[in-house]
Amino acid sequence: MSVSEQLGNVGSEVERAIRAHAAGNTARFDAALSRALELFDLTAADPRWHGPRRREILRARDEFCRVFFDGPADPQMVAGLERYFRYFAQAANRQRSGRNTCYATEPAPGTGTGSNDRSERASGVGAARATHALPC
């Protein structure tokens, strides 16, 4: 699986955890949280993803954990996580449709330069925008 497919799968579990938490469904939340963390760990352990890519995966994992374990969930941070993982799901869909290159336009949530770019402020996670090609 490509990094886009792997992170798209992680994003599915992240989304399930977010929805279950919002609905107050503890059993579904616990299961989705466990699956998401397992997928984060398996993706980070993949020897193909090293250096900056592995750091990005682990940073996204940290941000995911902060949403649920650092007090009340910040709606802007939740929206930023959903948006971040949506890029990977879209990239994986493009890959399946036969396109060879995907473009990610946001690094891991919570990483950024603190610039005043309006799109960064809207994301709620202070993410610096950098477009880079990802092998799908």
Nearest CA-CA partner of 1 in 82, 103, 9, 14: 9
User: Using 50, 70 and 90 to split pLDDT, how confident is the model at 6?
Assistant: confident
What burial letters (b/e) apply to 90-112, b meaning 16+ CB within 10 Å? ebbebbeeeeeebebebbbbbbb
pTM for the whole structure: 0.68
Question: 81 with 95: CB under 8 angstroms?
Answer: no
- The band of 117, judged by pLDDT with boundaries at 50, 70 and 90, is very low
- Nearest in space to 120 (alpha carbons), one of 103, 98, 102, 105: 105
- Residue 99 pLDDT > 90, yes or no? no
CA distances from 31 to 18, 36, 63, 115 (A): 12, 9, 18, 37
- pLDDT given for residue 92 in this prediction: 81
Distance CA 128, CA 80 (A): 12
Q: pLDDT digits over 53-81, tens only?
A: 999 999 999 999 999 898 877 889 899 99
**In the chain, where are the structural domains located?**
3-135
Percent of the chain with pLDDT over 90: 41
